[in-house]
Amino acid sequence: MTRKHVEFIQSADVEHKPWVVNGLLKGAQTQILSFDTETGASTEIVKWTHNWESSSGYFNCDVEVFVLSGQLRIGQLRLGRYTYGFIPEGVLH
């Protein structure tokens, strides 16, 4: 089954879960807004701890990030509030 079409979602009603990604520091929480069971693609709100950062590396899928508040550093990529970042699969970040 593919990802269900969602017109509107109230994020306050979505359960918080630990966000776990192999190779990245722990300490974040996620709310999964949608998930595609065939591809594993998802849309999530992730809340990192203050000053969370990651060293350079590779993702095994395309990653899109939109920062709602604060700042985020992933390798050389630095994003601030209301900025968007795209990291293609297999590209050093």
Between 49 and 84, name the one with better pLDDT. 84
pTM for this prediction: 0.76
Lowest mean pLDDT among 17-21, 53-57, 58-62: 53-57
Q: What is the pLDDT of residues 6-48, one digit of tens each?
A: 788 888 899 999 988 777 777 789 999 988 889 888 898 998 8
Read off the pLDDT band of 1 (50, 70, 90): low
Joined tokens for residue 47: 């809340």
Q: pLDDT > 90: what percent of the chain?
A: 22
Please compute the mean of the pLDDT values over residues 51-69 and round it to a whole number: 81
The string of DSSP codes covering the chain is --PPP-S---GGGSPPEEE--TTS-S-EEEEEEEE-TTT--EEEEEEPPTT-EE-S---SS-EEEE-SSS-EEETTEEE-TT-EEEE-TT---
